[in-house]
């Protein structure tokens, strides 16, 4: 029998086990937070160059608000932007607001996706496409780098 001023080892073991169980239960029932949502960045003639310069791999959606296929592509590109971040960076250019950019990159129809690696145009995708086809094309044109992921 232990003295009153000494802790009871059996009681200490029970207390430790219960605290461990409570901690495990809290951890198991804690909600898993979804990753932060990433959406394409709106670019204009002022921000276009700096955006390309600050990211290795960029997908630029050239669109217009009146374009039905462009509007249909918006949620697909939003989902891909979240899924493929931070390796690929997504941006949008409104063709109506930025005719100089449209002319500079020789965009003849919308939607058009421009794929850039280190500021150089490496591919363009014309028209609305399903998510799987876009992902395949991104991987072919902008393969993952072999070093640590870009942040």
Distances (CA, A) of 64 to 10, 61, 89, 93, 111: 72, 10, 20, 8, 8
Q: Indicate the SS3 state at residue 52.
A: helix
Our answer to whether residue 70 is catalytic in this structure is: yes
Residue with tokens 């072999």: 146
Distance CA 133, CA 76 (A): 11
Catalytic residue among 38, 52, 60, 70: 70
Among residues 41, 64, 67, 85, the one annotated as catalytic is 67
Closest CA to 123 of 115, 135, 134, 131: 115
Q: What are 118's two structure tokens? A: 């280190």
Categorise residue 106: left if φ over 0, alpha if ψ from -120 to 50, beta otherwise.
Answer: left
| Cα distance between residue 64 and residue 93, in whole Å | 8
Whether residue 27 lies in the annotated active site:
no
Which residues are the active-site residues? 67, 70
């Amino acid at each position: 029998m232990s003295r009153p001023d000494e802790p009871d080892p059996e009681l200490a073991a029970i207390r430790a086990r219960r605290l461990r169980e409570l901690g495990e239960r809290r951890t198991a029932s804690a909600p898993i937070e979804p990753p932060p949502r990433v959406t394409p960045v709106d670019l204009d003639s002022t921000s276009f160059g700096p955006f390309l310069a600050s990211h290795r791999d960029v997908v630029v959606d050239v669109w217009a608000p009146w374009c039905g296929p462009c509007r249909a592509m918006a949620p697909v590109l939003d989902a891909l932007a979240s899924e493929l971040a931070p390796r690929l960076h997504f941006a949008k250019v409104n063709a109506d607001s930025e005719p100089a950019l449209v002319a500079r990159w020789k965009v003849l129809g919308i939607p058009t996706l421009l794929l850039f690696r280190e500021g150089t145009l490496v591919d363009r995708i014309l028209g609305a496409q399903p998510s799987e086809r876009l992902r395949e094309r991104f991987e072919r044109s902008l393969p993952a780098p072999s070093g640590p992921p870009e942040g």
